[in-house]
Structure 1
Amino acid sequence: MRPAIIAMSALAACETTPIVPEGAVSYDGIETRLLDGDLVNFRVKVTNTIERQDVADYAECAAAQYALIRGYGFARNVRTLVDEEGGIWTGDAVYTISPALPRGSRTIDAEVTVAECARRSIPTV
């Protein structure tokens, strides 16, 4: 092989899926669906956990980043359903997104939440 091809092959190998340390929670995907205007559904999948809260946190991180992407600063959790089957945890969460702090007790400041998600190494959309 030519040196350029070898170098490109080496770079391609660096772009593989990151190895999750043994025992670490694995965040395995986010599916986002716009339901209506400001109402958004997030479906997430998590493995290597026993905590329902890990699933809910992953959905919240997705909602916060999505709100920022859409130019909004806030989100409010409408509901989060968590299920586990065969070691695979799934979450089905619905959030409203808005430019101003919405009414209710389950609101999040998207910018603050995204920063906290990064600090905790929880991926976002």
Structure 2
Amino acid sequence: MKQVCAIAVLALAACTPPIPTAEDFIPEYKGVETVLLDGDLVQFNVAMTKARESDNVAAYAECAAAQYTLIRGYGFARHVRTNVAIEGGIWRADAVYTISPSLPKGLKTIDAEVVTQSCRDKGIPTV
């Protein structure tokens, strides 16, 4: 009888998911691909693992857009769209922004310097 109980306990232990550690919640940023679509229209393809929600991967794309805007000598960007998908544990986003030297019209504009600094403060990599 003791052997049957021991086997049952081991079987239950095998079904119990492992206890998460801090490393399970630290995002891994897998890189950015930048595609110039037309003059001031730029697409950013990003990938990461361990995102908690789609907003995490969208923020990664925004950080890439902000730094790229500065690299090109501009100060502002306007968000056009972001598509997010997850497959096999890898979160991907493709985001499109327009970049410009002055504040563009629209509701979803970003100040590239402010956003880039915020990304650094949060530990989110940029381009």
TM-score, length-scaled by structure 1: 0.82
Cross-structure match for 1:3: none
Cross-structure match for 1:78: 80
Matched residue count = 106
Task: Determine if the alignment matches structure 1 residue 119 to structure 2 residue 121.
Answer: yes
Cross-structure match for 2:65: 63
Q: Letter of the aligned partner of 1:83 in structure 2? A: A
What stretches of structure 2 of length at least 5 have no aligned partner?
Answer: 1-22
Provide the C-alpha distance between the structure 2 equivalents of 1:22 and 1:53, rounded to a whole number of angstroms: 18
Task: Determine if the alignment matches structure 1 residue 100 to structure 2 residue 102.
Answer: yes
SS at match of 1:91: strand
Provide the C-alpha distance between the structure 2 equivalents of 1:23 and 1:81, rounded to a whole number of angstroms: 23
SS at match of 2:65: helix
More helix by share: 2
Provide the C-alpha distance between the structure 2 equivalents of 1:85 and 1:99, rounded to a whole number of angstroms: 36
Provide the C-alpha distance between the structure 1 equivalents of 2:51 and 2:80, rounded to a whole number of angstroms: 24
Q: Letter of the aligned partner of 2:105 in structure 1? A: R
Provide the C-alpha distance between the structure 1 equivalents of 2:35 and 2:41, rounded to a whole number of angstroms: 9
SS at match of 1:34: strand
Instruction: Give the aligned CA root-mean-square deviation in angstroms.
Output: 1.2
Provide the C-alpha distance between the structure 1 equivalents of 2:87 and 2:37, rounded to a whole number of angstroms: 26
Identity %: 63
Provide the C-alpha distance between the structure 2 equivalents of 1:74 and 1:91, rounded to a whole number of angstroms: 21
Structure 1 runs of 4+ with >3 Å offset: none
Give the CA deviation at 1:86.
Answer: 1.2
Provide the C-alpha distance between the structure 2 equivalents of 1:25 and 1:105, rounded to a whole number of angstroms: 29
